[in-house]
A and B are shown apart, each in its own frame.
Chain A
Amino acid sequence: MAVTDTGGAGAKRPSRLFRNMSAKIASIPMIFTAVVVFIGCTIWTIYHSFTRSRLLPAPEKWVGLDNYERLWGENRWLISIENLAIYGACSLILSLTIGFVLAALLDRKIRFENTIRTIILYPFALSFVVTGLAWQWILNPSLGLQNVVRQWGWESFTFDPLNNPEIVIFGILIAGIWQGSGFVMVLLLAGMRGIDEDIWKASRVEGIPTWKTYIFIVIPMMRPVFVTALVIISSGIIKVYDLVVAQTSGGPGIASEVPAKYVIEKMFQAQNLGLGFAASTMMLLSVLVVLIPWAYLEFGGKKNG
């Protein structure tokens, strides 16, 4: 995603206003999207998170941090945040670990590599709704996996995450990992293939075992790929919405609520726009926490050096 400056001929042309007019007209949709939608709408939402607006259009009243205070005092939001933190941490660790192990296995010059990769990646092509519903059925306590294991003779076997408020988020995690880990694997595999074959020859000459080569040589060399994967997975985690809606609808009760769902419900069902704007601004803030250090690492160094 780096901005490479291998310019076309256009870069060398004098840039008076009417020079290059076709290109400017052709770029209007992009300029509109960038300025009006991405910047304009974001600022609009942030501004309105400081006003009391239950239903627009209505006279706005500046209320300062009122909405934020109410937001952080609400149990539903706190549960959402807690769920996102648990889901996010587990999903990051698991998908990176699973993705890396699978990539390393596929990297071992095995047969049927294409077939295996196709199988591992196909969930990624599916909608989150499809994934959520499929796992809802598999985790069904009376007819699904739990029932089958009991039929096999393990009568006391209990695995019913979707109806247990304590562990429901892990039920969603299983589905999320199933869908997303293949993508991480493909990313990491591409990075692994980019490593010089000579590194492997050298470590073989030195007699370093394969697993040690992976952990102490390959992983440090793949730092940029890991960072990219990290940014992509985290921005996906914050957006988690359809998976929860399909799999549990936030239930049982409000045990599996997530921020993205909280925002949509406040805005379009509870008609409490102020809280919705405040919550979405918090979401933006959490993205910036990931994005700014990344952008600094990625682009900051280039400008200075």
Chain B
Amino acid sequence: MADATVNAAMTGPRGPKPKKAFSSTNIIIYGTLLVVCMYYLLPLYVMIVTSLKGMPEVRLGNIFAPPVEVTFEPWVKAWSEACTGINCEGLSRGFSNSVWILIPSVIISIAIASVNGYALANWRFKGSEVFFTILIFGAFIPYQVMIYPIVILLRESGDGITWFLRIFNEDASAFRLMGSLSGLVIVHTIFGMPILTLLFRNYFTSVPEELFKAARVDGAGFWGIYFRIMLPMSLPIFVVAMILQVTGIWNDFLFGVIYTKPETYPMTVQLNNIVNSVQGVKEYNVNMAATLLTGLVPLVIYFASGKLFVRGIAAGAVKG
């Protein structure tokens, strides 16, 4: 006992030097991070505060000041009364359009991409890697290059389908892909494909090959293995893909502007039209409420999903 104490006294304390909680480095690190966090939170705070004020209070003016009198009227107005030009029905229609674009787009794009990824990982055929490489490089082509030919493709295939339907029923109404929600769904499926296929392909490649071989020996085919083995195993990657697609499609603006018409505008387009409308007096509180309403869906998904969101956005970036 005494020896040990003497020894310890001779060699000094062992282990790393205990850190002081308030070392100057720590103060600098936490101080910087505090300022940074405030900068990132500031716009969200300003939006919330502004959307809860009445217009007189907004005009008097300090955008950073919390509301003296909290009112939810701007939110109600943004949802059901805000105007784009002469049309005054608020964001609610844009919201329901966005939902009707979102649901089929997410389901179809994930279904197609997961099967593609599965075929690429487990059922390669001659040329499959070539198509995949084209797909990945295609993701870097600016959308502007492909947008106009796609307009023509959609218009022509809509006419083709109409012609086909009229073989059976002469009175069939004209089927339209251009300007309709189904056309936009196709566009979202196409442009979501590179990243989703990459995601699923990398995931299915990491599934142990023995599992696949055992199922083959048992006589399972392409679809049997997909539905009975791969699908149940890959729930997490489906969630990641869903987060990626829901936020991506909800936030889309470009395709919404081009492939839909005013009645089917998604929420982002309608929001822009409401806020940047030149007519009437600017109601900043209503604008901010509308902006928050549009941002709400991705924000809720982001805060609820946590690390899965990070995994999703990093999927295309981190080397597979």
Interface residues of A (CB under 8 A from B): 1-4, 6-11, 15, 19-20, 22-24, 26-27, 29-31, 33-42, 44-45, 56, 102, 105-106, 108, 110, 114, 116, 118-131, 133-138, 140, 143-145, 147-148, 151, 178, 182-183, 186-187, 190, 224, 228-229, 231-232, 235, 238-239, 241-242, 245-246, 249, 259-260, 263-264, 267-268, 273, 276-277, 279-281, 283-284, 287, 291, 295
Contact = CB atoms under 8 A, between A and B. Distances in A.
Given A35-B131, A39-B134, A138 B149 contact: no
Interface string B177-207: 0000000000001100100011000101100
B144 A38 contact: no
Contacts of B42: 138
B14 interface: no
Given A1-B136, A26-B222, A128-B253, A143 B59 contact: yes
Given A38-B138, A116-B37, A187-B314, A280 B132 contact: no
Given A45-B148, A123-B40, A125-B299, A30 B116 contact: yes
B230 to A, nearest CB: 11
Nearest to B226: A26
A110 B116 contact: no
A190 B275 CA distance: 38
B141 A33 contact: no
Nearest to A40: B149
23 contacts: A1-B317, A3-B133, A8-B204, A9-B212, A22-B221, A22-B222, A23-B123, A27-B120, A29-B112, A30-B112, A33-B190, A35-B131, A39-B134, A125-B298, A127-B250, A127-B268, A130-B291, A143-B58, A178-B43, A182-B40, A245-B272, A264-B144, A280-B142
B287 interface: yes
B288 interface: yes
Contacts of A135: 43
| Among B40, B254, B257, B288, residue most surrounded by chain A Cβ atoms (within 10 Å) | B40
B247 interface: yes
A95 to B, nearest CB: 13
Interface in B297-319: 298-299, 301-303, 306, 309-310, 313-314, 316-319
B27 interface: no
Contacts of B302: 121-122, 125
Given A27-B120, A33-B190, A127-B251, 18 more contacts: A8-B121, A8-B124, A23-B124, A29-B189, A30-B112, A30-B135, A119-B40, A125-B302, A127-B250, A128-B251, A130-B271, A133-B291, A137-B46, A140-B63, A147-B63, A178-B39, A228-B317, A246-B272
A287 B131 contact: no
Contacts of A125: 247, 298-299, 301-302, 309
Contacts, number: 295
A163 B251 CA distance: 26
B213 interface: yes
A30 to B, nearest CB: 4
B212 A8 contact: yes
Given A26-B119, A133-B272, A122 B288 contact: no
Contacts of B287: 133, 137
Contacts of B121: 8
B138 A34 contact: yes
B43 A138 contact: yes
B46 A31 contact: no
Interface string B126-150: 1011011111111011111111111
B137 A295 contact: yes
B276 A145 contact: no
B294 A129 contact: yes
A65 B288 CA distance: 46
A62 to B, nearest CB: 18
A280 B306 CA distance: 37
Contacts of B235: none
B314 A283 contact: no
A265 to B, nearest CB: 11
B144 A283 contact: yes
Nearest to B34: A116
Closest A-B pairs by Cβ, 5 of them = A38-B138, A22-B222, A23-B123, A8-B122, A127-B251
Nearest to B251: A127
A265 B135 CA distance: 27
Interface string B41-55: 111101100100000
Contact of B253 (A35, A106, A245): A245
A204 to B, nearest CB: 10
A33 B123 contact: no
Contacts of B223: 22
Contacts of B123: 8, 10, 20, 22-23
Nearest to A235: B140
Contacts of A148: 61-64
Interface in B255-271: 257-258, 268, 271
B126 A15 contact: yes
A51 B198 CA distance: 36
B36 to A, nearest CB: 7
B246 to A, nearest CB: 10
A178 B40 contact: yes
